[in-house]
Amino acid sequence: MTNYKILISDPMSEEGIFPLRDTEGITVVFDTDLNPQELAEKITGFDALLVRSKTQVTRELIEKADKLKIIGRAGVGVDNIDLEAATEKGIIVVNAPDGNTNSAAEHTMAMLMSMARKIPQAFTAMRNGEWDRKSYVGVELKGKTLGVVGFGRIGAEVAVRAKGQRMNIIAYDPFLTQEKAEELGISFGTVEEVLKASNFVTVHTPLMKETRHLINEKAFGLMKKGVQIINCARGGIIDEKALYNAIKSGKVAGAALDVFEQEPMVDFRLLDLPEVVATPHLGASTHEAQENVAIDVSLDVVSYFSKGVVRNSVNLPSVPEEIMSKIEPYFDLSERLGAFLTDLSGSTATEVNISYSGELADSEVGPLTRNILKGILKRHLGTRINDVNAMFIAHQKGITVNERKSAAAGGFTSLISVEILTQAGKWKTAGTLLNGQGARIVRVDDYIVDVIPTGHLLFIRHHDRPGVIGRVGTLLGQEGVNIATMQVGRTAEGGDAIMMLTIDKPAEAESIRQLEELAEIEKVKAVNI
Ligand SMILES: NC(=O)c1ccc[n+]([C@@H]2O[C@H](COP(=O)([O-])OP(=O)(O)OC[C@H]3O[C@@H](n4cnc5c(N)ncnc54)[C@H](O)[C@@H]3O)[C@@H](O)[C@H]2O)c1
Ligand SMILES: O=C(O)CC[C@@H](O)C(=O)O
């Protein structure tokens, strides 16, 4: 493998990064004490950046990163990474979504129990030499209702554990259905219903525009008096000011917080309240979780550099391995079809219509569409286009992309048909993989051809007249251009026709001009793919 430099800017398990250490050609640099400005200076020349939640991967940092290809988040939340900036620059972002689920769920339970039984408060009093058994009377969990807002990996694991404490569970998640809830033996409701019904509320959503301050003054207003609340997900899901007021007013009897609106914390007023127990973002801080997440991101980084595939991308849809193995052979053909059409049109696409037929119609085809777009866009935008940003850049450039699937593949096992609309007109092609013979372009506009989509090609639109093929051959021969293969297609005898030539070296502009001067020839396009 070529040399790749990986910068790790947050503390990470040394045992967990063994896939990086064990791969020849990968150099790992640990530097976990950099401030944002130092990091921005250091990032030049690094191919990968691995972070936890401390490093803020901002647009400014991404813009400074001249070689960065992949950002690995050793954990779940990617709210510290500017995904849009990374995607725009074609940088893949991967996370480790499963490795710390168990630890975060256990921490949530630890926080719930500590809060319900006031363990941290009692311990602090004992430390101060007090033997106070009256001030720290708690509440039981058994028979109480726990509201789970966000029923993903961690929310669901918390529910299983809380059921073990004989709590009743009511949950809200946009993906949770009545049937699923029944199967799990829990109740299901809207956020409002969950908040109204619960003695304890725990949040487990990501932090996004839609979930910022999800638990705000209005939400506290819906809750039961004496409710206790837990946040081991992300600071900002709960409005801290509203929480402070709700505790002061007596509405909220307890809060267990692992995460905060600002981290590291600077405003400690919430912690002055005796109802609050807190940890400094320790949900994933176990040896097991840290090893798991470091292994997961390291494996993805190695896999990306060696095979170009990852398991846990957050800015590129993941495709299951069994589907990937079916569509991967078509990647190269897809990109070539895009490049071929762009060369033929000599213009930029405004609309791309893609049709997948035959066996491919039963597959996830997103990666193929991205490869076609890559082929189209690379012609004008160069190598900065890759799988990660092809769709994003297409949208940014106002290109409409339509995908269609159909069963009939015209006798082929699978067929990819692409049409582009440009300022200069409409162009169509179709390609397939011929069993044992590799990729072929089998259609250009309405003509049937059989062309290997590689190397230097000449596409000639002409009128079907005796002698025209010979004249083309003679002229190219005079220019020193050797013809390797030639395909001819026509609509009808004496009608419109095309020639597809494979030539051994690129045709000079002068040869093309001379060809176009021949009376029977309408248009000549050079294609280099
Ligand atoms: N404290 C820690 O150290 C720690 C550790 C791990 C994860 N986390 C955080 O915990 C959270 C959950 O992680 P996860 O692995 O379970 O993620 P997940 O993606 O499996 O689950 C998140 C769930 O939230 C749901 N959701 C999204 N918007 C919602 C809304 N408006 N209302 C209700 N539900 C909504 C989603 O449908 C999804 O099911 C994340 O914020 C993650 O960053 C914190
Ligand atoms: O890196 C950590 O310790 C925190 C991780 C956690 O917040 C996550 O989202 O996975």
Q: Around 314, how many Cα atoms within 13 Å sit in the side-chain half-sphere?
A: 23
Whether ligand 2 lies within 6 angstroms of the CB of 19 is answered as no
Indicate whether 383 pLDDT > 80.
no
Q: How far is the CA of 68 from the centre of ligand 2 (A)?
A: 22
Whether ligand 2 lies within 6 angstroms of the CB of 11 is answered as no
Indicate whether 324 pLDDT > 90.
no
Atom of ligand 1 nearest to the CA of 284: 3
Alpha carbon nearest to ligand 1 atom 25, residue: 150
Q: Give the pLDDT of residue 507.
A: 87
Are β-strands 187-188 and 400-406 bridged in parallel, bridged antiparallel, or unpaired? unpaired
Highest average pLDDT, of 176-185, 195-204, 407-416, comes from: 195-204
Q: Which ligand is nearest to the CA of 232?
A: 1
Q: Choose, from 14, 63, 263, 351, the residue flagged as catalytic.
A: 263
* Averaged pLDDT score across all residues of the chain: 94
Helix (H, G, I), strand (E, B) or coil at 278: strand
**Band of residue 382 on the pLDDT scale cut at 50, 70, 90:** confident
Residue 172: beta bridge partners?
Answer: 149
Whether ligand 2 lies within 6 angstroms of the CB of 355 is answered as no
Q: Choose, from 52, 107, 204, 234, the residue flagged as catalytic.
A: 234
Alpha carbon nearest to ligand 2 atom 1, residue: 52
Q: Choose, from 281, 336, 379, 443, the residue flagged as catalytic.
A: 281
- Amino acid found at 155: G
Contact 432, 414 (CB under 8 A): yes
Q: Which ligand is nearest to the CA of 296?
A: 2
Q: Give the pLDDT of residue 479.
A: 87
Are β-strands 187-188 and 200-203 bridged in parallel, bridged antiparallel, or unpaired? unpaired
**Band of residue 46 on the pLDDT scale cut at 50, 70, 90:** very high
Q: How far is the CA of 204 from the centre of ligand 1 (A)?
A: 4
Atom of ligand 2 nearest to the CA of 284: 3
Contact 309, 324 (CB under 8 A): yes
Q: How far is the CA of 326 from the centre of ligand 1 (A)?
A: 32
Tell me which of 156-160, 264-268, 410-414, 434-438 is least confident.
434-438
Angle at 136 between CA 131 and CA 140, to 5 degrees: 140
| Whole-number Cα distances in Å, 278 to 90, 230, 282 | 39, 10, 10
**Band of residue 2 on the pLDDT scale cut at 50, 70, 90:** confident
Q: How far is the CA of 203 from the centre of ligand 1 (A)?
A: 8
Q: CATH 3.40.50.720 region(s) of the chain?
A: 4-97+288-307, 101-278
Q: How far is the CA of 102 from the centre of ligand 2 (A)?
A: 12
Name the residue among 18, 150, 155, 8 with its Cα closest to residue 73. Answer: 8
Average pLDDT score over residue span 72-85: 96
Whether ligand 2 lies within 6 angstroms of the CB of 77 is answered as yes
Q: Give the pLDDT of residue 310.
A: 87
Q: Which homologous superfamily does the CATH classification assign to the domain defined by 4-97+288-307? A: NAD(P)-binding Rossmann-like Domain (3.40.50.720)
Atom of ligand 1 nearest to the CA of 258: 1
Based on the residue annotation, tell me whether 234 is a catalytic residue of this protein.
Answer: yes
Contact 428, 489 (CB under 8 A): no
Angle at 476 between CA 473 and CA 479, to 5 degrees: 150
Q: Give the pLDDT of residue 268.
A: 96
Could you please report the per-residue DSSP string of 326-359? HHGGGHHHHHHHHHHHHHHHTS-EEEEEEEEEEG
Q: Which CATH class is domain 101-278?
A: alpha beta
Q: How far apart are CA 108 and CA 283, in angstroms?
A: 7
Average pLDDT score over residue span 455-474: 93
Q: How far is the CA of 95 from the centre of ligand 1 (A)?
A: 13
Task: Look up residue 81 and give its DSSP letter.
Answer: B
Indicate whether 113 pLDDT > 80.
yes
Percent of the chain with pLDDT over 70: 100
Q: Give the pLDDT of residue 161.
A: 98
Q: Is the dihedral of CA 208, 312, 322, 332 positive or negative?
A: positive
- Amino acid found at 420: I
Indicate whether 329 pLDDT > 90.
yes
Query: What order do you get walking across the sheet with 252-257 strand by strand?
Result: 187-188, 168-172, 145-149, 200-203, 227-231, 252-257, 276-278
Based on the residue annotation, tell me whether 263 is a catalytic residue of this protein.
Answer: yes
